[in-house]
Structure 1
Amino acid sequence: MTGRPRDARIDDAVLTAAAELLAEVGYADLTVAAIADRAGTSRPAVYRRWPSKAHLVHEATFRDAATAGAPRTGSFADDLHELVRRTAELLTTPLARIAVPGLIAEAATDPVIHRRLLERFSAGGWRGLDDTLAAAVESGELDGGVDTLVMLEMVIGAALAATLTRGPDGLTPEWVGTTARILLNGVRPAGAGTAG
């Protein structure tokens, strides 16, 4: 016999409270008790839904994330540009700026949150990306040896590194365009041969 279904109103109230408090006090000072109080529920009710603060913050931060589906414009160059743009947008929202450093630190010791972050920023998190790449290979726009996960690692890695070196405001449209162009064409001049 299964228990009562989860009350979506409590889920929504907790996620909203977590997002508000994260913005107010930051990741380090955020507590499940404070979230529960703000949401008008109990700590046990929160822990029945999320096993830790990190899991709750992850869901609250990326609640309306732009990874619902891979871009499909009909042009791989445009798809890649849009993928870079969405990734930059995802990692530089006000909540992500606060949450991501704490989540990365938590992921180092919590294998479950580590797996959730990997799922968020993996080909699985960008549903349809494999199909987008397959279509680009079929049309001759993409080399068949390109690995989806490696490409995503390059996009996400570039965005994370840029937030560290430039600050979140440094991921400008110009940065997106330059990064997408380098990912698409590499760093060699157009028409340059390959090294032997």
Structure 2
Amino acid sequence: MLDAAEELLAEVGYADLTVAAVADRAGTSRPAVYRRWPTLAHLVHEAAFRDSDTRESARTGVLEEDVRELVRMTSELLTTPMARIAVPGLMAEASSDPTLHARLLDRFAAHGWSGFDDYLRTAAGVRAGVEAVAVIEIVIGAALVAMLVRGPDGLTEDWVDQTTAIVLGGIRS
């Protein structure tokens, strides 16, 4: 079902994807799809991000390097072909579906961003009161807007470096 959803997502896009089409392509029924995923958006989320690397990055203890890696990983995650197709629709769906919203946050907070709050509290040079969630929101927001303005190929190493410098400027004491 995930393969079928991914194939169809690439073929028809998020707006025209249906559970019926996924079920037909997968050789199963709509009830079988709904037994695993409560909505089409949940299925799309799993299909779009199942191969994504959301593991926690190795932290070096050097703030500049670790923030840069957070920016780089976020950029890489959001510019995959599947993410570029799925993310706009998933953002719209997550705003009105608390279970999808929680699932999206869980995928990343439990993996690639886990422990970032503790890291910021103990990192040298970070001003008191900086919350990891705010830093992550800034990084994700910057990546999403940059994709709109620059296109998905615009999130270059130079963009990562510039965004990292801006984030560091905001969190340093």
TM-score, normalised to structure 2, is 0.89
Q: Is 1:109 matched with 2:96?
A: yes
Larger CA Rg, structure 1 vs 2: 1
Q: Is 1:46 matched with 2:30?
A: no
2:159 paired residue number: 175
2:7 paired residue number: 20
Q: How many residues align?
A: 172
Q: Distance in 1 between matches of 2:76 and 2:63?
A: 20
Maintained 8 Å contact 1:18/1:56? yes
Q: Distance in 2 between matches of 1:99 and 1:170?
A: 18
Deviates more, 1:155-164 or 1:107-116: 107-116
User: Which consecutive unaligned segments of at least 5 residues does structure 2 have?
Assistant: none
Identify the match of residue 144 of structure 1 among 125, 128, 133.
128
Q: Is 1:58 matched with 2:41?
A: no
Identify the structure with bigger relative contact order (alpha carbons < 8 Å, sequence gap 6+).
2
One-letter identity of the residue aligned with 1:111: P
User: Which consecutive unaligned segments of at least 5 residues does structure 1 have?
Assistant: 1-13, 187-193
Q: Is 1:153 matched with 2:137?
A: yes
Helix, strand or coil for the counterpart of 1:178?
helix
Q: Distance in 2 between matches of 1:132 and 1:60?
A: 31
Aligned sequence identity (%) = 65
Output one character per residue of 1:47-76: Cα deviation in whole Å (capped at 9) or x when no partner. 000011100001111112222214412311
CA-CA distance at 1:20 after TM superposition: 1.3
Across the aligned residues of Structure 1 and Structure 2, the Cα RMSD in angstroms comes to 2.2
2:70 paired residue number: 83
2:149 paired residue number: 165
2:116 paired residue number: 129
Flag the structure with higher helix content. 2
Q: Distance in 1 between matches of 2:12 and 2:118?
A: 41
CA-CA distance at 1:173 after TM superposition: 0.7
Output one character per residue of 1:20-55: Cα deviation in whole Å (capped at 9) or x when no partner. 111111111111112122222221111000011100
Q: Distance in 2 between matches of 1:153 and 1:166?
A: 19
Identify the match of residue 34 of structure 1 among 1, 4, 21.
21
